[in-house]
Structure 1
Amino acid sequence: MRVPIYEALAHYKRNEMLPYTEYFGLGFFTDISLAESTIAESKKLVGFSDLNDNSFSIKTHYLNDCTHIGDDINYEIVNNKIYGVWYDYDIDPYYSSSGYIGLFSTLEYAEKALDWYKTWDIFNVYGLDCLGIDTITLNLRGWTEGFITVYD
């Protein structure tokens, strides 16, 4: 069974000379129309309103999409909460790479997946402290106030 979860994202690049793009997570949603409306509302906010349409996207994740959590999987979402296994490590002094590797319906599934992700070479290089688990509330818009940029 594949249960989609939609992540609304904004992408910001300070200038085209830099290889780095920053990502703003705008929320996780059970319905793609909720992700689309979140993006539409975010485009009205300070900072986000300066970005072009190509700076927004929706990433589809699939709930419990990790074979290492077992065979008898429960996809029920309780109290609109799921658990995301995240990563966050520094590429260099100016840029870090971050995001979610997997989304899970229970903390137990997220913990089992996290144990498996810890065996990946990339996390042996950057350290296991760059992995963790967040509780995510679905269908809740993030970044409701926008942002400003500050340059040196």
Structure 2
Amino acid sequence: MRVPIYEAIAHYKRNKELPYTEYFCLGFFSKLSLAEKALTDSKNLIGFSDLNDDSFSIITHYLNDCAHIGEDINYEIVNNKIYGVWYDYDLDTNYTSSGYMGVFSSLEYAEKALDWYKTWDIFKIHGLEYLGIDPITLNLRGWTEGFITVYD
């Protein structure tokens, strides 16, 4: 069974010479139309309104999409809560690579997936403290107040 979960994202690049792009998670949604609305609403906020349309996108994750959590999987979402397994490690002194490796319908599934992700070489190099689990409320938009940019 493939249950899509949609992550609305804005991406921002300070200038074209930099190799990195910053990502803002605008929320996780159970329906594509809700993720699209989050993008539309975010485009009117301070900071986000300066970005072009190509700076907004939707990533499709699939609930419980990790073979290492078991075979008999329950896809029920209780109280609009899911659990995201995230990574977040420094590329250099200015930039961090971060995102979600998977989303899960229960904390138990997220913990099983996290145990498997901990075996990956990249986290042996960067450290296991750069992995974790966040509870996520579906259909709740993030970044409702926008942002300002500060340059050195």
TM-score > 0.5 by shorter chain = yes
CA shift at 1:45, angstroms? 0.3
What does 1:39-50 correspond to in 2, within 5 Å?
Answer: 39-50=39-50
- Secondary structure, aligned partner of 1:92: coil
Amino acid at match of 1:139: N
Deviation at 1:6, TM superposition (A): 0.1
Matched to 2:100, the amino acid is: Y
Q: What SS does the corresponding residue of 1:145 show, helix, strand or coil?
A: coil
Work out the CA distance in 1 between the residues paired with 2:91 and 2:49: 28
CA–CA distance in structure 2, aligned partners of residues 111 and 38 of structure 1: 29
- Structure-1 residue corresponding to 2:93: 93
The count of residues paired between Structure 1 and Structure 2 equals 152
2:94 and 2:134 map into 1 onto residues whose CA distance is 24
1:71: how far off?
0.1
**1:12 shift after superposition:** 0.3
What TM-score, normalized by structure 1, do the two folds share? 1.00
Supply the AA of the counterpart residue of 2:114. L
Aligned counterpart, 2:73: 73
In 2, Cα distance between equivalents of 1:81 and 1:27: 12
Q: Distance in 2 between matches of 1:91 and 1:68?
A: 28
Compute the displacement of 1:146 (Å): 0.3
- Letter of the 2:4 partner, please give it: P
Shift of 1:26: 0.1
Whole-angstrom distance in 2 between the partners of 1:138 and 1:59: 14
The code of the aligned residue for 1:35 comes to: A
Which residue matches 1:35? Answer: 35
Which residue identity does 1:14 align to in structure 2? R
**SS in structure 1 at match of 2:49:** helix
Whole-Å separation in 2 of the counterparts to 1:113 and 1:62: 13
Extract structure 1 runs of 4+ deviating beyond 4 A. Answer: none
Q: Encode CA deviations 1:33-64: one digit per residue, 9 max, x unaligned.
A: 00000000000000000000000000000000
Task: Report SS of the residue matched to 2:91.
Answer: strand
Match of 1:19 in 2: 19
Alpha-carbon distance, 1:126 to partner: 0.2
Instruction: Give the aligned residue type for 1:99.
Output: G
Secondary structure, in 3 states, of the residue corresponding to 1:134?
strand
1:76-113 C-alpha deviation (Å, 9 max, x unpaired): 00000000000000011111000000000000000000
Cross-structure match for 1:56: 56
Q: What are the ranges of 5 or more consecutive residues in structure 2 without an aligned counterpart?
A: none
1:127 equivalent in structure 2:
127
| 2:124 alignment partner, SS class | helix
Match for residue 110 of structure 1? Answer: 110
